[in-house]
Structure 1
Amino acid sequence: MKKTLLTILFITFALGLSAQKEARKAVRSGNKAYKEQLYGTAQGEYEKALGHDASSKEASYNLANTYYKQQRWDDALKEYDHYLTLEKDNPEKMSAAWSNVGNTYLKKKANEKSQAQAMQNQGQQPQQGGQQTDHLKLSMEAYKNALRLNPTDDETRYNLAVVQKMIQDRQNEDQNQNQDKQQDQDKQDKQDQQDKQQDPKQDKKDQQQDENQMSQDNMQQILQAIEQDEKATQERVQQRKAAEQKQKNENNRRQNKDW
């Protein structure tokens, strides 16, 4: 039993060594292709290395760099994140990874700006849906993480200062735009207030028109009533005259008969 267990452990160890050997071989091939700027070939070799040894820090870090060189920003960010889960012992290497993360977010921001400008040049409106990712702030935080691990990295410090200036400029621009919007709103409110002050006159005029219309309607009703009363009166007068004439005629007949 013990012999079988030892045999299994030996085979496992041997396979592990063989996998690591193949991984290092693939990494060397990837590094050669990377130096020759054959980033697609290098990517394939680093992926092969990780297939043999998923814990290979060098393969992971270099694979992220090949994604970066190919402008595959999301893949690069994902692989840098994977590398940072592997590297826990070397602050300088971790700092370099965080610095590259900051560079990647900065590249994503520049790419977004270029796409938006291209759409505007074509007369199209950039799509705005949902909450947009603030790549500048993510870049800033990545640079800060890098400097916490390696405060002597002057290049990262410079990049951080540039990004912070970009964020400040954007905030100033947003503030100016908000001020312009507020001024426009104040003008609109002032115009609305002026219109509102004019509205009572118009309302009064409309009210007078309504009152005049009501008076006209009432007057028409009164005239119609008077006309009806006059007709009724005339009819009563005519009836009374007719009755008087009839009575007069009857009296005349009686007098003629008496004669």
Structure 2
Amino acid sequence: MMKRYLLIAGILIVSTQAFAQQERKHIRKGTSEYTEQKFLESEIEYRKALDKNPESFEAQYNIGASLYKQQKLDEAMKQFQTLAQTEKDPAKLAQIYHNMGNIYFAADKIDESIDAYKKSLKNNPLDNETRYNLIAAQKKKKEQENQQQQQQQPQEQEQQQDKQEQQQQQQQQQNQMNKEDAERLLNAIQQDEDDLQNKRKINAAEKKQIEKNW
């Protein structure tokens, strides 16, 4: 669940009382729109409040929440990342990182969501909602790892089978080559034997002819 920052009673830094009243007016209006799930309208009101006071944590934080509800995940993430870089209050940081964890989770960036939830709990160890989300993210990561392992097993088996078939084919080719080599060797030996026999016959005939002539 995306946490919307609870409005505080006063503003620490304001230019004038009238200026602060205008900021509060837009924040209250934005919160009303947010409650009615009119998230674009709430974003507009929070931005108006931010125009009145560029240092307003409430306005910046709730703009991020409104963007998240509009599924503008990248914009929402940038909003909370900017806040995380400047905010020092642990309670506020816990809420910021909680929301960053939700955005990462929605974007299926599970490792990043786990890291964000852990940072949130570091700043507020008693937040059960964040703890629940962390457990859910860790469970999803485990499921993804199991699914990936199951997908890899058939691929590995198929690769092993292909390797065995290739080895068998190579062995058959080698056996065929050995058989052909043996046949060629036998043929060569037989040819040599035939040549030798023919040579002997020729020599015998020549010798007989010489003896006859003599």
Q: Normalising by structure 2, what TM-score?
A: 0.72
The 5 Å alignment of 1:11-90 reads 16-17=15-16, 19-89=19-89
Q: For residues 182-205 of structure 1, give each alpha carbon's deviation from its aligned partner in whole angstroms, at most 9, with x where no partner exists.
A: 222221111111111101133346
Select the structure with the greater relative contact order (CA < 8 A; seq sep ≥ 6): 2
Q: For residues 188-246 of structure 1, give each alpha carbon's deviation from its aligned partner in whole angstroms, at most 9, with x where no partner exists.
A: 1111111111011333466689x69xx9xxxxxxxxxxxxxxxxxxxxxxxxxxxxxxx
The answer for the alignment partner of 2:193 in structure 1 is none
Between the aligned partners of 1:33 and 1:173, the Cα distance in structure 2 is 41
Aligned pair in 2 of structure 1 residues 37, 174: CA closer, same or farther (>3 Å)?
A: closer
Between the aligned partners of 1:138 and 1:206, the Cα distance in structure 2 is 63
Corresponding position: 1:168 with 2:168: no
- Asked whether the equivalents of residues 27 and 46 of structure 1 are also in contact (C-alpha less than 8 Å), the reply is yes
Structure with larger Rg: 1
Between the aligned partners of 1:20 and 1:203, the Cα distance in structure 2 is 93
| CA positional deviation for 1:88 | 1.3
The answer for the alignment partner of 1:97 in structure 2 is 96
| CA positional deviation for 1:63 | 0.7
Between the aligned partners of 1:146 and 1:107, the Cα distance in structure 2 is 17
The answer for the alignment partner of 1:159 in structure 2 is 133
Between the aligned partners of 1:43 and 1:145, the Cα distance in structure 2 is 26
Secondary structure in 2 matching 1:71:
coil
Between the aligned partners of 2:45 and 2:85, the Cα distance in structure 1 is 21
Between the aligned partners of 2:136 and 2:35, the Cα distance in structure 1 is 29
Q: Which runs of 5+ in 1 are unaligned?
A: 1-14, 110-134, 216-259
Matching residue's letter, 2:105: L
| CA positional deviation for 1:164 | 0.7
The 5 Å alignment of 1:1-259 reads 16-17=15-16, 19-89=19-89, 91-109=90-108, 135-204=109-178
| CA positional deviation for 1:79 | 1.1
Aligned pair in 2 of structure 1 residues 206, 48: CA closer, same or farther (>3 Å)?
A: farther
Between the aligned partners of 1:163 and 1:36, the Cα distance in structure 2 is 29
Between the aligned partners of 1:206 and 1:99, the Cα distance in structure 2 is 74
Higher helix share: 1
Between the aligned partners of 1:156 and 1:88, the Cα distance in structure 2 is 19
Q: Normalising by structure 1, what TM-score?
A: 0.60
- Asked whether the equivalents of residues 60 and 82 of structure 1 are also in contact (C-alpha less than 8 Å), the reply is no
State percent identity of aligned pairs: 35
The answer for the alignment partner of 1:131 in structure 2 is none
| CA positional deviation for 1:138 | 0.7
The answer for the alignment partner of 2:196 in structure 1 is none
Number of residue-to-residue matches in the alignment: 173
Secondary structure in 2 matching 1:139:
helix
| CA positional deviation for 1:34 | 1.6
Cα RMSD (Å) = 2.5
